Amino acid sequence: MAVLCFARHYVEMVAVMLVGMVALGRLESLLASAVGRPHALDGTTVSALLMAANMTVVVAAWMCLRGHHLRLIGEMVAGMNVGFLAMVPLWIGATSHHTLMMAGHELMFLGMLVVMLARRQHYSDHRQ
């Protein structure tokens, strides 16, 4: 039962994260178009950070709605975004924007899992 609760929670968090990426990303596109700059965020560090923020905000909000403590929400936010330290190679020209986006987002999934494993008793509880 605990493994199923843990897995359900992880899948739920990934689904919420993806909804945030799509919904808030679409909102960003609409806003950029509304101000006459539809491609302003294409291929930039800012677009990577905004996408990460979009996913993080909805996960944090979801966790808050589900009754998680702020400390756990903070841990999840940190775990989700630590992968974006990968921007340093982009800034010094050692990698491409595409590589950064792929690595940052793949590491986001791994970061969420690591945080959940560190608190597996909490995330395996069926009441969460």
User: How many structural domains compose the chain?
Assistant: 1
Locus of tokens 């690591």? 114
Q: Cβ atoms within 10 A of the Cβ of 6, count? A: 21
pLDDT in tens, the chain (128 residues): 889 999 999 999 999 999 998 888 888 888 878 888 777 777 667 777 788 889 999 999 999 999 999 999 999 999 998 877 766 776 677 777 777 777 777 888 999 999 999 999 999 986 65
Q: Is the pTM above the cut of 0.85?
A: no
pLDDT at 128: 59
128 belongs to a structural domain? no
Q: Nearest 5°: phi and psi at 113? A: -65, -40
The residue count of the chain comes to 128
90 belongs to a structural domain? yes
Q: Cβ atoms within 10 A of the Cβ of 120, count? A: 12
104 belongs to a structural domain? yes
Q: Structural domain of residue 28, as residue ranges?
A: 2-123
pLDDT at 86: 67
The Cα 59–Cα 89 span in angstroms is 27
74 belongs to a structural domain? yes
Q: Side-chain half-sphere of 54: how many Cα atoms within 13 Å?
A: 20
Q: Nearest 5°: phi and psi at 92? A: -95, 5
